[in-house]
Amino acid sequence: EDSYADNLFTTGETGVEGVRHLEPKSFGPAIERALALPGFGPEAADVEEKTHLVGFGREATLGAAPAILDAIKSGQLEHIFLVGGCDGSEGSRRYYKKVAQQMPETSAILTP
């Protein structure tokens, strides 16, 4: 979309007609553009900080397998959902968040 044209950059082997290409290890133009956009100024300090526990790779998940199996056997974990989507950073895009909030307390969510 043309409205994103000023916010797109390519690097390395990639290139798209009409999109600015950055020289190797020269991210200055992208950083300057990001800082000029809303969300990085003093107004960002007024946003409530939120955290989510993320980042479990295959090894961590397999390492937790005994605890997961115990939770299933005891009924503490009854549902495991795979959610393959993203709401994005815009506050108005909340489909997957709403889905997750409606899941039973005895649920776990896996993402690809």
What SS3 state is found at 108? strand
72 and 94 in a single domain? The answer is yes
Domain match, 75 and 95 both: yes
- Assess contact for 79 and 71: CB atoms under 8 A: no
Of 33, 11, 34, nearest to 24 by C-alpha is 11
63 and 101: one domain? yes
Count of domains forming the chain: 2
Asked if residue 90 has pLDDT above 70, the reply is no
% of the chain exceeding 90 in pLDDT: 30
> Average pLDDT for residues 16-39, to the nearest whole number?
89
- Record the tokens describing residue 95, joined without a space: 């489909």
Structural domain including 66 reads 58-110
Say yes or no: 62 and 33 in one domain. Answer: no
pLDDT in tens, 43-88: 766 767 766 666 677 788 888 899 999 999 999 999 998 888 777 7
The answer as to whether 52 is a domain residue is: no
